[in-house]
Structure 1
C-alpha cells in the first residue's frame, strides 16, 4: 500500500516534496468542510485545487482502507470470489479508491479469480481523471482489469438502466448514500426502485454500503438495510449475524465500527496535532442474496454475540453493549468472576465472540457467570 500512497503524494504535489505544514494545511482545510457538512462534501470539492489536495492525501487512503477491511472480511468465506471473473459497479466512486482496495486484497487472496470488470459512476470529471491515473498505476500480476467510468450523477435513473445488462456481482455505495439523499432529494422508495432490477438475475448479488460513523448517517444506512432485507430477500453477511430488524435502530441508537488503521507514512506526524490516524470510524453493511454469513467461518459452540461498544469498566464489573438475538443487550461480567487469563478483557469494539452460559437479569440485561466459556471468534482489523 505504501507504493500507492507515495504515488498519491506525487500526484497531489506534482512531484514536489511537500513540507509537513503544506500537508497539514491541505488536510485540515478539507477536514473542516467535512465537519461542517456532517455527512457529505459540497458538490464542487473536486474542482478546488486546495480541497482536492487534502481529499487525495487523507480521505482517499481512509476510504481505501475501509473498503480493504471489508473485502478482507468477505474473503474469509470460501464461497466469495470462487470463480474466474467478477463484475463490480461503484456508485459515486470518486477517484475510485474502492477498486484499488479490491486489487490490493485480491493480490493476497487470489483463489481462481482472473478477470475484473469495473464500472465507476461519478459526476465530477476531475475525480474520474484522478481515478484513471490511480488505476493505471496499480496492477496485480495474472489479474486482468477492464475498467471504465460513467460521468453521471448517482441519482440518474438512466445510469441504473444502463447498468442492468452488465448484471454486476457487487454494487458498492461508499460515502455516496448521503450525496444521494441529502443533495438530490432521493427518497428511500426511489433508492429501492433503483436497486430492484439488479436483485433478480444474480443469486450471489452483493451490496456493500459504507457511510460515516455519525448517528444520522448510520441510522439511515441501517434503515435502508432493513428495507433491502424485507423487500428483496437479502441476508446480511456482516456485521449482522441475522436478518432481524436492526437492534440499534429499535433502541434509537446507532452502530458503527472502529478498526485499526495503518495510515500512510506521510500522515504519521498528524497524530500530534489532533487528526485521527490510528483507527477507521465508519458504519457499513454487506448484504448478499445467497444468505452466507461471516459466522459460517467461525468454529464455535454456544451463542454468537457481536460487540457494538467499547468495554466499559465500572466498580466491581465491566460491561459492553452487544447485538444478540436481534436486540441490543447490556452484557456484564463481575470482576470477582474474572479468571487468571480473562478472555472477556480481550473483547474489542466490533468483536464476534461466543458464550455457553449466561443469566438474564432483565429483558435487556445479561450477566456472564464465572464458569462461562468465552471464545473470541473474530476481531476485525
Structure 2
C-alpha cells in the first residue's frame, strides 16, 4: 500500500505538468484522416517517449498519418510483453477548438479529445516516469501502439495491432473509463452492412405500373432488419443512413441503407449475419447485402476477470473502489480479445462527454491516482 501511495504522491506533485501535456495534445487538433495534423501530434508523443529512453518506430500511412510503435524493455521483463493500446485521432474536425477551446474549470479540464483519449496517452508516459522515479520499472517488456485511425475502424492499423499482439501476455487499453471510473471488462462487437436494392425505373405518372420501386422494397427491408434485434440478448440493429431515387416523378430504380449491428456474443453475430444475407424483396426487386463483422466482442472471460481482480486490488491500495462495466462501443481492445489475448479496457482518465466537444472533460482530481493505478498494473501484471 505504501508503494502505491508513493506513486500517487509523486504524480500529484506533477499534476500541473500532466495537465500541460494534455493541453498540448488537445491543442493539436487531430481528426481522423488529417494526415499532416496527425503526423505533427505523433512527433510530440514520440519525442516524449524517446525522452524516457524508449525505442520508437514510426509507421507512416499515406492519407492517414503515423502509427507509433513504442518499445520499453526493462531488464527485469518477465514472460510475454504487456501490449498497451492508444490512439491519437479524434472525431472533431479542424476548427473545433475555435468554438470550444481547451480550458480548466475547477477540477475539470475541457477540450475536444481530452477524454477520448489524449489524457490516456499522457497518463501512460507519466506512469512509466513515476516508476522510474521510484527506482522501479514495468514487470514485463511494454509494447505501446499509438494509432492514427481508431475512430474510423482501425483499417490501416489492424495488421499492426495483430502483429504486436503475437507473443504478448496481456493487453491494456488506454480508452477512457466508463461512467464513475469503471474499467471495461466487456465490449459489444460491431458489424456493418449495406443493403442495396435494384428495382425498375418508370414514369411516375404515365407508367407507374411498369416500375418496381427500390425505395418501397427498401422500406420493407429496413423494418425486417430492425426486427433482427434481440435487446434481451444485447443485440441491436440500427439502420442509420438511407438513400435512393433520382426525381419525384421517377419510380426509383436504386436505393440503399447502411446498417449498424451490436452484439455481445459470437453466436448472435452469426445469427444476424445469416439473416441479413437472407433478406429478400417480395415485389421483384433485387437485393444485395454486403459487409459483415468488423470487430468481434470483447467478452468477460476468466482471464479478463483475473486482470480485473488484480486491478481492483491495486486500486484499493490507492483508495479507489474500482468497478467494472460492459459497454456498447468497440475499441482496439476488441481486436486483441479476438486473438485470445486477455484484455482490460478503460484504463484511461475518469471524466465524461466523449465525442461531445462542448462537454467532453477529464476529472483532474482523479488524474494522479488513476495514473498511479496504471503504474501499479505495469509493475505487477
Relative to the length of structure 2, the TM-score reads 0.26
Relative to the length of structure 1, the TM-score reads 0.26
Larger Cα-atom Rg: 2
